[in-house]
Amino acid sequence: MKRRAFTLIELLVVIAIIAILAAILFPVFAKAREKARASSCMSNMKQMGLAVMQYVNDYDENYPLGRVRAGGVANTGNWAQIIQPYIKSTQVFSCPSNSAGRNLILPDSDPNGPKISGCYLGNHRIMQLMPGTPQDMASVKTPANKIMILEGTSTGWPTGLHADWQAASDTRIRDTTFSGHMQMANYAFCDGHVKALKPTMLMSSTNMIGYFNDCGASPGAVEQINTDVISPGALVNLQALEVKYQ
């Protein structure tokens, strides 16, 4: 009576096929997982955008301040703590793909307020610094084309707001902004809508962020957000940001 069994060659062929399939499918699964995380992040930002719109409606169409610093005192509140009561959650401020931001607390936080992670940065051209006058909604000429909240890590830019710089040699944007969703990031615009973009698209045809020091003569607060001139320094750093997350 003969016993049937696999030969060594047959086993090796099966193992090789499994290895090939795994090599093909694992990246596909990884991309699927990242797409799910990116969708969760987009949902977070949509809730933040809606919370800002609710705040704007309650406060005479003024956007929240980026940092409060009441009476010149630091650590008395930031934009995320201001809008948090409209969301009633702190998990919304945590991006599942951004481990660096999740392990940090957003700067200028009021210690008596909710602890919010550093996954998202406010655009200080919209969310003005105190002492200062809050930016009002009517002064933003193209709210659907100007970014209000970006993904970041809040490291190196101590206010929890999107950085500014004068030259390409200043790498704060590259070091503090996140684009880990397969080299893309989610952005909340001044009208509340959210869109996933590659960082370089923020400076491709028009300036979606606003005034930088290399855009020309220093403007007033209203002109800062309405500046459409491309910032060469910003473009260089946004290109470096894409390379960073390859």
| Residue 52 pLDDT exceeds 90 | yes
pLDDT at 90 exceeding the cut of 90: yes
Judge whether 238 and 202 are in contact, CB under 8 Å.
yes
Band the pLDDT of 1: cuts 50, 70, 90: low
Q: What is the pLDDT of residue 169?
A: 81
Which residue do the tokens 């809050």 mark? 134
- Where residue 161 falls among pLDDT bands split at 50, 70, 90? confident
* Rounded average pLDDT over 212-239: 85
All residues at 6 or more sequence positions from 144 whose CB lies less than 8 Å from its CB, including other chains: 189, 190, 191, 193
E-strand stretches of 86-227: 120-122, 147-151, 185-189, 194-197
Confidence of residue 2 (pLDDT cuts 50, 70, 90): low
Q: What is the pLDDT of residue 155?
A: 75
DSSP string, 5-25: ---HHHHHHHHHHHHHHHHHH
Burial group, residue 101, by CB count within 10 angstroms (0-12, 13-18, 19+): buried
pTM (2 d.p.)? 0.85
pLDDT at 130: 67
Give 229's contacts (C-beta < 8 A, 6+ positions apart). Answer: 207, 215, 216
Backbone angles phi, psi at 181, to 5 degrees: -90, 70
When pLDDT is cut at 50, 70 and 90, the band that residue 156 belongs to is low
